[in-house]
Every structure is written in structure tokens, then in C-alpha cells.
Structure 1
Amino acid sequence: MSADDALRLFDGMPPGSEDESAPLMSATDRIGALPDHILHHLLSFLPAQAAVRTCVLARRWRHLWRSTTGLRIVGLDDEEPVQVQDLRKFMDHLLVLRERTDLDTVQIKFDLFNQDDEPYVNLWTRFAVICKVQVLTLRIHDELEYLDLDDLPLVSRHLRTLNLHGVSLRKTFVDFASCTALANLKIDDCFINFNKISSCSLKHLSITSCQSDLDCRVRISAPGLVSLELEDFIGITPLLEDMASLEAACVDLSVECKDVCLNYGSGVFCGANDNTCKNCVPGSDDCSSDCVLLGGISSAKHLKLISDTGKFIFTRDLKHCPTFSKLKTLLLNKYWCVAPDLDPLSCILTNSPVLEKLTLELFPKGQNPKLEIKGSYCCMERPSAISEHLDIVEVKCDVIDEIIRKVLKFLCALNIRFSFE
């Protein structure tokens, strides 16, 4: 029996009514003998279509699907691909027949869609919010286009986790002022069409592989943030406002970052000559702050800072470098070591007074290093220019080339002695 047939069979049948065609529960049906609240939870792990079909198993199961604690609207049915349009009629029935019990989790996942599907997906998303969903996942995987979410704010005192993938986000939707419990937000492979994301409740934020064609910086304001992941942003780098509670952050400016030094193509290192590149000069864009990234994450205890060569943001930020007063572990890539005088590396070390571990990954991204060089201090007097707590230095690379030798020489001048493994 299909899920649609099952829904039609029990359409209008109130809970508790008899259906002689439904089999009695077997004496060996141990799962069916479990309490309702446990079965509601178990059914929440099934796709909605499969959960509904359980109504024909026995009288005990007739109405259990109506009150599941989770709802999975997914593009698979018995492992066969299902498109949004294939589930429209089924979902129309389900939304009417389902009990208005609260939902812990809702997942909406599809590999294909068309523009006619957008109102349905938006309706299902709003239904989840009405049912006080706590964890909401909307994942649309279509290589050709993004699904456009309606420009209405999310109003929920219950939503704790929001995962978005493959959707186009507009200004009002990301107004999380009414989502006072929202602690976890993940935005992956989305089109960003807003200039600010703000939340006082957010604790964990991940923005990966997203793109924006705006000519201004997207401002991120999350003063209570504990962890941040900002990777492979396509467009102008977002501006990070103060995050005083930040524990850990990973910022990776990929080749798609549009903040490119105009001098880099001629062989001049980004920011090496003040005022010669209008991009590299602070205040040359819409950024009213001295720092785009480093100022906002300066309170972190653990940092991973990676940039493709030729991008100017980190180097420009360093001209107004904040003090990383809590920073204990720091991971940097080759970007920080290509300047002739190693100014970027020297600057960030100078401004990290309690740093305990430094890792330099000087090998191509996506590969594994062939050589790992570990350093430690000798017993000589520690130079005052760097943290007196720095006990572990790791340099990972493929070969010992000119840049590696320059880095090792620089670190040795700080009384670090290396061993090869």
C-alpha cells in the first residue's frame, strides 16, 4: 500500500475508532507493545511516507504516525528518488490529518526541484515552525539553482538549531530577533542576499561555500558566539563584529574571495606598498572598522586562519592588529609566510601574549604534508617579542624550499630549535 493510499484509508477516521480490516497486534510484536511516546520517537526516524504506511500494520499502529516527534520530508521513498512535486498531494493530506503535537526535528531534503515547488517547501517550513520545531534542516541539492525562501521572518521561541543548504536567503528571513533560543546556525552552499545577520542567542555559527553578489560586506553580529566557521565565501568577505565570548574560529579565504590586491599580479606582495593599491588601504571600502575579520575574533582561544595568496584582508587587518589576549593555539597557512620580511607572521605572534602552540601548514591545500618539523625552545633567555608560554611549534611542508628555510631561520632567531620527523 502506498503512503497516499494509507492516508486516504484513514482520512476522517478519528483516533480510537474501530477498523475491522486492520489486524490485531500480534502477541510477539514486542515493538508494538512499547509505550506510545517511544513509538512516536522511533517513527520520527523514518521518511514521512514510510511512517504513514505503518498504520496498516495493526490497530495498535493505526494513528501513531499522526503524533511523531519528528518529520522527515525527503526525496527518497524505498530508496527511490522522489521530487518535491511527487510529494505535494501526499503532504497536503499529511498536514491536514496530523495531530498538532510539537515537533522536535524536521528535515526537508531533496536533490531536485523546480520553481513551482518553492511555495510548497516554504509552506512545509512554516508548518514546522508552527509545530514548535527545535531542530530544522532544509537541504536542497540542485547544481543549477537555489531554492528561494520567502522573505518572512522566522518567529519561534523554540527553534534551537537551523541547518540550511542550497537555498537563497533574503533579509527578513535571517532576522532572528524572534528566535530567542536559536543557538546553532549552519548555512552551507547558499546564496546570501542580505547585508546583515544578527543574533544575540547564537552560540555556534558555520557559513561555508556560500556566495553573494552584493557590493557591500555582510555584517555578522553575534556577541554570544562560542564557535565560528567561515570558509570558502564567494564574494566580498563578511565583516565580523565583536564576539567577546568566542572560543574557537576557523576563517578560510579561498580563491573565490573578491578581496584581491591589485598589485599582486605584478609581483608586489599584498599591502607591501601603502596607498599604491586602493583595495589594500583601510577605509577604501564600505568597512567603517579598522579590521574586517581580526577585530571580531580577537577574543578567541583557538584560531585557524587560512587565505589564498593575493587576498588582502588579513594583511590589511594587521595594520591595525588587535591583541589576541586569550589565544592559545594558532594555525596558519603559507599566506602568512610569503612576505619577504615575514611581517604578517611576526605581527600576529607579537600580538599573541599567551600563545602556547603554533602550527604552520606550508603545503598545498587538500594534500597531506610529506615532512613535519617540530620545534621547542632551548634554555636560552626567551625573547620578549613573543609569548613566554609558546612551547610547541609545528612546521608542516612538502619540501625544504626557500620559503621554508626563511621561516625556520626566522623562528630560530626566536630561540626555537627544530627536529625533523
Structure 2
Amino acid sequence: MSPRKKRNSAPPVSVTDRIGALPDSILHHVLSFLPVQAAVRTCVLARRWRHLWRYTTGLRIVGLKEGKYSEVKDLRKFVEHLLILRERTDLDTVQIKFSKFCEEDQPRVNLWVRFAVMCKVWALTLHIGNGYLYLDDLPLVSRHLRTLDLHGVTLQKTFLDFASCPGLEDLRMSNCIINACRISSCSLKHLSIWFCIYYLECRIHISTPCLVSLKIVHYSGRTPFLENMALLESAHVYLHNCCEDACLKYDDSGVLCGTNNNACENCVPIEDDCSRECVLLGGISSAKHLKLLPENGTFIFARDLKHCPTFTKLKTLLLNEYWCEGPDLDPLACILKNSPVLEKLTLQLFSKGQTHKVEMKGSYSSVEGPAAISEHLNMVEVKCNAVDEKVLKVLKFLTAFNIRFGFM
């Protein structure tokens, strides 16, 4: 008689409950990807699920109505009960996203932010769709915070001093009001400032010596003063005419009033303007990759070029038509002569994004004379919509530097 096969003592896993067979630690992580309302509702699935939501590794406090973000008031009581009833386990991520808030909601949302920090959160996101929610003028104190993503909030002086966040590496601010004279962090590696507004008369100083990447796009107010960023790898700076360092008397010929005695009020430096130093270019002079895209009339780059630093590590450079204005294209000449190891130059002239219709590629010819610019310049791209008189002027200028082109 053949021996009877040993039966498996564990009950078979139901086809419909394979998720329920996962270890608790994995389910805690899976639930953290759900909005908190949905995570809590899983308590009715089975006895085992009754308390899993209390140990999630993340919280997504997101007000949703018909697929759109709703107001803070729609989740006030729910979130307050949630924070009381959940276990005091550490949190990897916290997301707080709403479309609207009222004045009485501000201390409540600030409390939620502080709760997240107390739970040793690694990545904290606060997005407010409409209006500017005031964050308390108190420092963040956390050894664990790595990423901070802010949208639609007003930031005060003490909040932007991250001395008590020694692990913070990634700071993103979009559509925020900045009411501080300084952003400082000794650990920050990535800084992004998008569509932010600065109302103070003095320049905000950005002190981030370990920064690796920087983005400043559509900034309104006086241009930030960038302190030394010796470890910087890449920077993208796009300034438009909402920048207060825009010349009010700029004309199409590229003449800035700051170059003569008839200066406008925006071009006159204020008392603490560090007028003997570069505002932007000095701080990013160590970068390997630069995108500098100011709109015409922006004065700050023309001002900085008077003290133009040497870009000792710069490998790739993207410029727009701003640098090709003026009678002798002096801005372009200045930055090229101060970039001794430049390898690739891209000029995006009178076109944005992928809208350019014409592309020309060229390279530096070292056999035609002594080098006035980088001998390493092996690729020059010119992108535009049409080869008009202004573009031809740029091509002629580059040809004088022994750069030869061909159409694509």
C-alpha cells in the first residue's frame, strides 16, 4: 500500500483574497498609496483588516470630489479623528492637497504639518490650489525630513531657515509667496522655485553651499542673490518681465538704460544690493550645465556681465535671443570668452520649446586661427523659426569665432 501523501495544513488562499495573504508590513505600505478615506474604509473587508489602516507608512490627506480636489472643510473632522486614532508609527510620506481653505483652516493645516514632522516623515507635500495659506513662522525641526514640496502657501522668515533639518535635500516651492530675506540650508542638494512672488524690497539671499541643481522659473520680485554654490552641477534660470530687475526703458535695439545716465527706477541699485558683486552669475559660475533664458528687458544679467565671473566647469550652455541683442552681441561674446571648457552651445532664437522650424549645427574649427573661445566647443546648435536678419547677424558673429554651420 503506497504511503499517504502529507496534506498541507495551511488553508488554500482564495483567488479573491491574494492581497489579504500578504504580510502586514506590506499591506501597511500598500494602504499608504490610497487617500486616507479609502484606507480607513478597508477596515470593513474582514477581521484582519480592521486595524491595518492605523499603521500605514504614509498619509494622503487629499480632499476629492468627483475626481477634483475639494476644500479643507470637507475633511476637517475626519482628519482630526484619524490623527487621534492612528498608532504613532513613523511615516515615510505625507501628502496634504486641497483646492481651497478658509481663514479658520490655517491653524488646523499647520497642526497637520507639525504632526507629520513629529512622525519623522521623510517626504512632506503641502499643495493648496487657490489662495495662499500662511505657514507658521516657526522653524521645522526634523533629522528625518528629506523632501519638502510646497505649493500655494506663504512662507515666513523662520520657516525658511532649515538649520534644524540637517537631512533636507530636496526643496520645491511653486506658486508661493516668500516673505523672508534668506533661504538657508547646509544640506540642500536640489532647489526649485516656480512662479513664486517676493514682495520685500531687499533681495532674498539663497545660501545653499551643497546645492547640486537649481531651477528658478517665472520669479516675481527682486531677483534672488545667489551665494556661492561650489558643488552645483546644473542651473535653469528663466526670468520674465514680472521680475523687478527689468529695465523700464528697454527698446528693441537691446539698449538698457542702465548702460547710460538715463536710468529708470528698476535699474538703480538699492542700498543693500551688493552692487559690486554678481547677483546671479557669481553663484552659478561653478555649474557644468546652464540654461539662462531671460526675457528681453530683464536687466539683471546685463548688470552681472559687468562683473562676469569665469565659468570654469561649464560644459553645456543654452541661451535665448536675450544674449544676442545689442549692436555687437556683447552679452554672448562675454559669456563665451569666460567659458574656457565649453563643449556644447545651444542658441534658441525667437522660438520656445519644440516650436522652432529651423535647426543649424556647427562646430569650432581650431585650424583657422587662435582661439578666442573654448577649443573644446565641438557642437553649436542654432534653433529658430526663420533665418531672418537677426539670426543672420548671430551666424555672422559666430563665424568670426571660427564656427562653421550646416543646415539640418
Q: Normalization by structure 2: what TM-score?
A: 0.93
Report matched runs for 1:143-292 at 5 Å: 145-265=131-251, 269-270=255-256, 273-277=259-263, 284-288=270-274, 289-292=276-279
Deviations along 1:256-314, whole A, 9 cap, x unmatched? 11112243159661267344426687855522251000000000000000111111111
CA distance in 2, matches of 1:283, 1:260: 12
- The residue that corresponds to 2:7 in the other structure is none
Q: 2:25 aligns with which of 11, 30, 37?
A: 37
- The residue that corresponds to 2:304 in the other structure is 317
Report matched runs for 1:96-107 at 5 Å: 96-107=84-95
State yes or no: 1:301 paired with 2:299. no
Contact 1:383–1:415 at 8 Å: present in 2 too? no
Q: 2:392 aligns with which of 399, 405, 420?
A: 405
Q: 1:414 aligns with which of 374, 396, 401?
A: 401
Query: Post-superposition shift, 1:406?
Result: 0.8
Letter in 2 for 1:68: T
- The residue that corresponds to 1:7 in the other structure is none
- The residue that corresponds to 1:6 in the other structure is none
Change (3 A) 1:408 1:87: same
Contact 1:279–1:312 at 8 Å: present in 2 too? no
- The residue that corresponds to 1:13 in the other structure is none
Q: 1:135 aligns with which of 99, 123, 143?
A: 123
Change (3 A) 1:175 1:57: same
State yes or no: 1:371 paired with 2:323. no
- Which SS does the other structure have where 1:286 is aligned? coil
Contact 2:339–2:373 at 8 Å: present in 1 too? yes
- The residue that corresponds to 1:65 in the other structure is 53
CA distance in 1, matches of 2:25, 2:69: 30
Change (3 A) 1:371 1:124: same
Contact 1:224–1:244 at 8 Å: present in 2 too? yes
Letter in 1 for 2:332: L
Letter in 2 for 1:391: N
CA distance in 2, matches of 1:337, 1:180: 42
Contact 1:206–1:228 at 8 Å: present in 2 too? yes
- The residue that corresponds to 2:105 in the other structure is 117
Letter in 2 for 1:324: F
- Which SS does the other structure have where 2:142 is aligned? coil
CA distance in 1, matches of 2:216, 2:69: 32
Query: Post-superposition shift, 1:380?
Result: 2.4
Query: Post-superposition shift, 1:254?
Result: 1.0
Aligned residues: 395
Deviates more, 1:182-191 or 1:368-377: 368-377
- Which SS does the other structure have where 1:126 is aligned? helix
- Which SS does the other structure have where 1:116 is aligned? helix
Query: Post-superposition shift, 1:27?
Result: 3.8
CA distance in 1, matches of 2:366, 2:311: 26
Contact 1:203–1:224 at 8 Å: present in 2 too? yes
Contact 2:90–2:120 at 8 Å: present in 1 too? yes
Deviations along 1:143-181, whole A, 9 cap, x unmatched? xx2111111110000000000000111111111110000
CA distance in 2, matches of 1:175, 1:98: 31
Contact 1:299–1:326 at 8 Å: present in 2 too? yes
Query: Post-superposition shift, 1:119?
Result: 1.3
State yes or no: 1:360 paired with 2:347. yes
- Which SS does the other structure have where 2:335 is aligned? helix
- Which sections of structure 2, spanning at least 5 residues, go unmatched? 1-11
Query: Post-superposition shift, 1:378?
Result: 3.6
Shift >4 Å, 4+ stretches? 265-268, 278-285
Q: Normalization by structure 1: what TM-score?
A: 0.90
- Which SS does the other structure have where 1:151 is aligned? coil
Contact 1:270–1:280 at 8 Å: present in 2 too? no
CA distance in 1, matches of 2:257, 2:330: 11
CA distance in 2, matches of 1:363, 1:49: 49
Deviations along 1:373-392, whole A, 9 cap, x unmatched? 11123462353210000010
CA distance in 2, matches of 1:192, 1:300: 26
Change (3 A) 1:93 1:290: same
Report matched runs for 1:327-366 at 5 Å: 327-365=314-352
Contact 1:187–1:207 at 8 Å: present in 2 too? yes
- Which SS does the other structure have where 1:380 is aligned? helix
Contact 2:267–2:299 at 8 Å: present in 1 too? no
Contact 1:260–1:279 at 8 Å: present in 2 too? no
- The residue that corresponds to 1:384 in the other structure is 371
Deviations along 1:127-150, whole A, 9 cap, x unmatched? 0000000000000111xx211111
CA distance in 2, matches of 1:234, 1:138: 21
Change (3 A) 1:248 1:279: farther
Contact 2:349–2:382 at 8 Å: present in 1 too? yes
Contact 2:258–2:268 at 8 Å: present in 1 too? no
Contact 1:382–1:414 at 8 Å: present in 2 too? no
Change (3 A) 1:380 1:138: same
